[in-house]
């Protein structure tokens, strides 16, 4: 189904008449980021757990992703693809620390 609207705050793709649930423009939820990228929430969780995208983990299962980190990740991903070079995949030992609050 084609998307007709984009959230002005987080850039998520929205169905006609749908309101975005992002209430703080500086952070995105996993579901808001999944909608922005048109991917599953499971894929976003995998990226977060790999440590390639900076995020805050609040408690056991709640994540908040800084919008600046999302934009940085998107820029690196687009730059890596457009340059023709292969991106390095993170290894199990190269995880970035997660800030727990």
Contacts of 52 (CB under 8 A, 6+ apart): 73, 90, 96
pLDDT exceeds 70 at position 20: yes
Looking at residue 83, what is its pLDDT? 45
The string of pLDDT tens digits covering residues 27-51 is: 899 999 999 999 999 999 999 999 9
The mean pLDDT of 53-79, rounded to a whole number, is 89
Model confidence pLDDT, tens digit, residues 68-88: 899 999 998 886 554 444 555
- Per-residue pLDDT at 90: 55
Q: State the architecture of 5-79 in CATH terms.
A: Orthogonal Bundle (1.10)
Residue 22 in contact with residue 10, Cβ under 8 Å?
yes
**Among residues 66, 31, 42, 26, which one has the least CA distance to residue 18?**
31
Task: Decide if 12 contacts 20 (C-beta within 8 A).
Answer: yes
């Amino acid at each position: 189904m084609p998307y007709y609207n984009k959230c002005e705050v987080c850039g998520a793709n929205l169905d006609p008449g749908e309101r975005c649930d992002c209430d703080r423009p500086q952070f995105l939820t996993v579901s808001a980021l999944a909608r922005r990228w048109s991917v599953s929430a499971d894929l976003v969780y995998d990226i977060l757990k790999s440590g390639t995208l900076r995020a805050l983990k609040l408690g056991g299962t709640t994540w908040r992703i800084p919008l600046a980190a999302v934009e940085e990740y998107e820029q690196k991903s687009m730059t890596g693809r457009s340059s023709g070079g292969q991106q390095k995949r993170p290894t199990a030992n190269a995880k970035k620390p997660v800030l727990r609050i």
